[in-house]
Amino acid sequence: MKMTKELNQLFNEQIKLEYDSAFIYLAMSEWLNQNNWVGAGHWMEIQYREELAHAEGFVRYLTMRGEPVELLQLATAPKEWDSILDLFQAALKHEEFISESINKMADQAEKDGDRASRLFLQWYINEQVEEEVNANDNVMGVDRTQGHIVGLLAFDDLKGTRKWTGEEVPLFS
Ligand SMILES: [Fe+2]
Ligand SMILES: [Fe+2]
């Protein structure tokens, strides 16, 4: 079954958005490292790698379906945040935006009766629930320190324990 042009376009735009996400999180990692939040910087570096895997998962799916892959112009990543709280709030907002974008793809796949795409997207829908939980945890973790350095240092240490275990995107190996 051929994918509709509309859905193919949404897939290609999503590939760009996942790479944009990777760039944003790499930029955030850099900012955190520069500001001596090395634990949080490490956490964001793993987030960057996850986003690369998300993008590659979409590329691989289009390839398997014999659909054109278009690598669109990426956005320039932001580089300044007012504070560590501001940075994590921006990350949460970004994940909410990505969830909406993936939901729109699922709507289109349903409209097209493209069951393979709809099922493929389920992994990403579930992943976004987790992404929003993690992003929200980070905002709350920073917020509840109320700016106290001891609390912030404990938060930073905790973020430094995150392990990269690889991202098991479907069809991606
Ligand atoms: Fe993603
Ligand atoms: Fe994400």
- Ligand 1 mean position to 150 CA, how many Å? 32
CA 168 to chain centre: 14
pLDDT in tens, 46-68: 999 999 999 999 999 999 999 99
The residue among 69, 84, 85, 66 whose CA lies nearest residue 19 is: 69
pLDDT band at residue 171, thresholds of 50, 70 and 90?
confident
Output the pLDDT for position 168.
82
Token pair 């629930």 is found at 129
Give the Cα separation of 116 and 118 in Å (integer). Answer: 5
- Ligand 1 mean position to 148 CA, how many Å? 31
Superfamily of 5-159 according to CATH: Ferritin, core subunit, four-helix bundle (1.20.1260.10)
- Ligand 1 mean position to 149 CA, how many Å? 31
pLDDT in tens, 19-49: 999 999 999 999 999 999 999 999 999 999 9
The residue among 135, 141, 140 whose CA lies nearest residue 154 is: 141
Q: Which ligand is nearest to the CA of 15?
A: 1
- Ligand 1 mean position to 118 CA, how many Å? 17
- Ligand 2 mean position to 128 CA, how many Å? 7
Q: Which ligand is nearest to the CA of 102?
A: 1
Helix orientation angle between 38-65 and 115-143, rounded to the nearest 10 degrees? 170
For residue 67, the number of C-alpha atoms closer than 13 Å in the C-beta half-sphere is: 22
pLDDT in tens, 135-162: 999 999 999 999 999 999 999 999 999 9
- Ligand 1 mean position to 5 CA, how many Å? 22
For residue 26, the one-letter residue type is L
Question: CB count, 10 Å around CB of 142?
Answer: 24
Q: Which ligand is nearest to the CA of 17?
A: 1
Q: Please write down the long-range contacts of 105-111, taking CB distance under 8 Å and 24 or more positions apart.
A: 105/7, 105/10, 105/11, 105/14, 108/4, 108/6, 108/7, 108/10, 109/7
- Is 55 within 8 Å of 22 (Cβ atoms)? yes
Token pair 């929200």 is found at 136
Boundaries of every domain in the chain: 5-159
